[in-house]
Copies of this chain bind each other. A is one copy, B any other.
Amino acid sequence: MAQSKENTNNSARSKAAAAAQSTGAPVAQTGEKRPRTTRRPYYNRRPRRPQQPREAAVPIHIYPLGGLGEVGKNMTVYECNGDMIIVDCGLVFPDSDMYGVDMVIPDFTFVVQNKDKIKGLLITHGHEDHIGSIPYLLQKLDLPIYGTRLTCGLIRNKLEEFGLAGKTKFVEITPRQKIKLGCFTIEPIHVNHSIPDAVAFAIDSPAGTIIQTGDFKIDYTPLACGVTDLSTLAEYGQRGVLALLSDSTNSERPGFTATEQKVAAGVRNLFARARNKRIIIATFASNIYRVQQIIDLAVEDGRKVAFSGRSMVNNTAMAQELGYMHIPEGTLISVDELNQYPPEQVVLITTGSQGEPLSALSRMASCSHRQVRVGPGDFIIISANPIPGNEKSVTKIVNGLLLLGAEVIYESMYDVHVSGHACQEEQKLMLTLTRPKYFLPVHGEYKQLKKHALTAASLGIPTSNILIAENGSNVILSQDEIKLGEPVTAGAVMVDGLGVGDVGNVVLRDRKHLSEDGLVIIVATVDSKTGKVLAGPDLVSRGFVYVRENESLMDGAQSIVENALDRCVDEHVRDWNSVKTRVREALSSYIYRRTKRSPMILPILMEV
């Protein structure tokens, strides 16, 4: 299987490193030198309890295989004393320049090479960027999966589509109940996030304890399941934490992320405003808390509830089955039944809050939804913020819905969404409670990792103990030092349809070229002995120009090609590659001169 390495970031990074080295400056990754501040925060003033005696020489290796320098495809491998564990195995959605690619998964080469050492796959929570690549990993090796109940449920659903659910071993874990895997002892710690049943992991090893937060925030008044388990985190901090790997998604945002209760209040106000209208509300299918609170408000208001969108229907069914969601008898109706009720007696909860072109909401906006017609009687709430890159798609849907006469609530001022990730003050709390010796910001683009590193430095962690690693780094940690070993294979493998890794940079470059200027094909049948053209040349173009409107251009092209072929015959050029090159160059320069465009030009010669 061909695997294409992540290109842009890595190459930029090596250039950066090279540039830094050539100027004698420290390599960017090992934290920049900043003047020590005179202020010493309490964090560093408190005396540490004596460390548990450890085998001093034992190091632990951390290999991030995804999630660094990007938002998504989180995956980290830990190795100590010859044992390995993996935390998370997510996917990332393709950038706009990855034409036609459906999703991107980590490169599993390193994991496959070490499959005999791996004791298990631990999952922090059930979002796609943490579980989405599991089926592709399990196609390569068998592994037991450790996750909380909801997380396991979501993974099982996913594996069923791949026919892998039956043969995979699941181990359901519970916060505070330790798991032993090889030389590792792992304690799941409850954290708040935008999906229930999320955990951080305290990973104890002969080298020391590492805390990986997964995605988290700190919600003092969550709708269910309690606050992030601050005491356990503090306990580990007291005992001594070798390293903290913490979520950097919101590291650019000052302050605290608001509580989910705020959304409850915001949505309640809007329900009051929508009194005589049908309510349609779009949100993330995995945000079970949010969906539950919408259902509660609907029940209060005497409205029936329907779900639209495949993932909304599936996720809510599973959440009900596992007891994470409670819908009173007689409340749930199907989308087909919607029109049997007056508008003020229904709420439709739907996918599509990110403007996904095939989602239910998008189809409503373009009048192509099978059961739902949007009109002036609708009150539509988009309970989500656009993820960077999705702004234009969301705007398109909002415009469409407004044009149909619906009232649409989409602005942040209405308090219909809060983030699932910690902002700077929460990140500081996490750092302060766990008091790590070393700090590795994870989950984020480089700018976010960098900001998180600065936040840590502002708390007094020496910059030499802060490391911004990258995918494929081999971070070696011990009580004595942090250093980088020989990097391992890591990268981005593109999935397109059933193909995993069969689309690479050459294919993408061709797709980009074709998308910008189209192509012109030249076909000719030639006599294999004389080189004389027996049929053609025919010119066929796609994605170039309207041929009918550009007859003179295409006639000119035809003559250019004919002349080039004739000249080859006259000059006895018999090497077909040279003939093709000459034809291509002649046509290419003609077309550029006439149109300032450079379509792909494909000469095909058939010998008879």
Contacts and interface: CB of A to CB of B under 8 A. Distances in A.
Interface in A350-377: 365-367, 373, 375-376
A47 to B, nearest CB: 35
A395 B388 contact: yes
B523 A606 contact: yes
Contact of A2 (B96, B367, B549): B549
A606 B399 contact: no
Contact of A25 (B405, B515, B543, B550): B405
Contacts of A513: 543
A229 interface: no
A447 interface: yes
Contacts of A543: 99-100, 507-508, 510-511, 513-514
A389 B392 contact: yes
Interface in A512-529: 512-519, 521, 523-525
A539 to B, nearest CB: 10
A116 interface: no
Contacts of A510: 518, 542-543
Interface residues of A, number: 94
A506 interface: yes
A573 interface: no
A606 B535 contact: yes
Residue among A399, A498, A519, A524 with most chain B CB within 10 A = A399
Interface stretch (A11-19, A331-339, A564-572): A11-19
A69 interface: yes
A170 B254 CA distance: 52
Contact of A602 (B96, B373, B542, B544): B542
A402 B405 CA distance: 46
Contacts of A447: 395, 398-399, 402, 408, 410
A497 B608 contact: no
A530 interface: no
Contact of A608 (B32, B503, B523, B534): B534
Contacts of A499: 545, 595, 597
A375 B546 CA distance: 48
Contacts of A502: 545-546, 549-550
A400 interface: yes
B446 A28 contact: no
B411 A2 contact: no
Nearest to A512: B515
B367 A536 contact: no
Given A506-B546, A507-B543, A545-B507, A604 B16 contact: no
Contacts of A507: 518, 543-546
Given A16-B400, A389-B392, A511-B515, 18 more contacts: A15-B404, A16-B403, A19-B375, A20-B405, A23-B375, A32-B405, A69-B399, A100-B516, A100-B597, A254-B413, A389-B391, A408-B447, A502-B546, A510-B542, A512-B515, A514-B543, A540-B602, A606-B606
Closest 5 CB pairs of A and B: A515-B515, A497-B596, A510-B543, A514-B514, A100-B516
Interface of A: 1-2, 8-9, 12-13, 15-16, 19-20, 23, 25, 28, 32, 69, 95-96, 99-100, 252, 254, 365-367, 373, 375-376, 388-389, 391-392, 395-396, 398-400, 402-405, 408, 410-411, 413, 445-447, 450, 496-499, 502-504, 506-508, 510-519, 521, 523-525, 534-536, 538, 540, 542-546, 549-550, 594-597, 600, 602, 604, 606-608
